[in-house]
A = this chain, B = another copy of it.
């Protein structure tokens, strides 16, 4: 598997170990990871620290031209908040681990000209399926069923 999706999965697994939602992400610029992160809703009590947002935050302030040369990898289809961030910064490519357990705003991203690739990776699917089965109250807490 692609080393960057592997790094995103490692982030998701780290989140799971911390008792969090197992979703991870890395921001890649010219073949190098410049930000990595995972969902920290539980860990930090934050509704905005989805995996993609955490990766963007950990990349720090970047100039516009850098974002426009990036690919963001995420283990789960990006929700409308994360998709909005991707659109805001003009990130041209998103590699998605899976969209079977949750379908994000992929169509909106495509309409905005973003290249969205979906891997339907078994590890990503299993991470989410297991979490949702074990913690339905956490998964449904914030945006409902």
Give the interface of A toward B (CB within 8 A): 41, 45-49, 53, 56-57, 59-65, 67, 79-85, 87-90, 105, 140-144
- Which of these, B47, B65, B141, contacts A56 with CB under 8 Å? B47
What separation, in Å, do the CA atoms of A76 and B82 have in the docked complex?
A: 20
What separation, in Å, do the CA atoms of A47 and B54 have in the docked complex?
A: 10
A47 touches B41 (CB 8 A): no
Shortest A61–chain B CB gap in Å is: 5
What separation, in Å, do the CA atoms of A80 and B90 have in the docked complex?
A: 11
Given A47-B56, A47-B61, A56-B47, A143 contacting B79 (CB threshold 8 A)? no
List 4 tightest A-B contacts by C-beta distance, closest first: A84-B84, A64-B144, A80-B84, A81-B84
What separation, in Å, do the CA atoms of A48 and B54 have in the docked complex?
A: 8
Q: Give every chain B residue within 8 A of A48 (Cβ-Cβ).
A: 48, 53, 56-57, 85
Q: Give every chain B residue within 8 A of A49 (Cβ-Cβ).
A: 57
Q: Give every chain B residue within 8 A of A85 (Cβ-Cβ).
A: 48, 80-81, 84
What separation, in Å, do the CA atoms of A142 and B61 have in the docked complex?
A: 7
A45 touches B63 (CB 8 A): no
B81 touches A142 (CB 8 A): no
A61 touches B141 (CB 8 A): yes
Shortest A125–chain B CB gap in Å is: 22
Shortest A69–chain B CB gap in Å is: 13
